[in-house]
């Protein structure tokens, strides 16, 4: 949900199983467009990498100070 808000895109959407729709739930603001393009996926990956790097750097700082 945090990624959906940060990217201003809706995530998940309709899920189909054996040709039958099993859910139509979305994560994110109903007014935002769905995450669907390659550019959107790249932005999501960039967000995840940056968040991971930030957590890693914070961990190094904590361990260096201990």
Residue 15's DSSP bridge partners are 23
pLDDT tens-digit series, residues 8-59? 888 878 888 898 888 888 888 889 888 888 888 899 899 999 999 999 999 9
Residue 23 is predicted with a pLDDT of: 83
Domain assignments of the chain as residue spans, ordered by start: 2-65
More confident position, 30 or 62:
62
pLDDT at 63 over 90: yes
Residue 64 is predicted with a pLDDT of: 94
Distance CA 55, CA 44 (A): 17
pLDDT at 66 over 80: no
């Amino acid at each position: 949900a945090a990624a959906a808000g940060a990217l201003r895109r809706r995530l998940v959407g309709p899920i189909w199983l054996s040709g039958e729709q099993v859910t139509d739930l979305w994560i994110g603001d109903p007014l935002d467009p769905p995450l669907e393009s390659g550019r959107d996926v790249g932005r999501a990956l960039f967000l995840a990498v940056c968040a991971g790097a930030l957590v890693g750097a914070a961990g190094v700082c904590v361990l260096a100070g201990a």
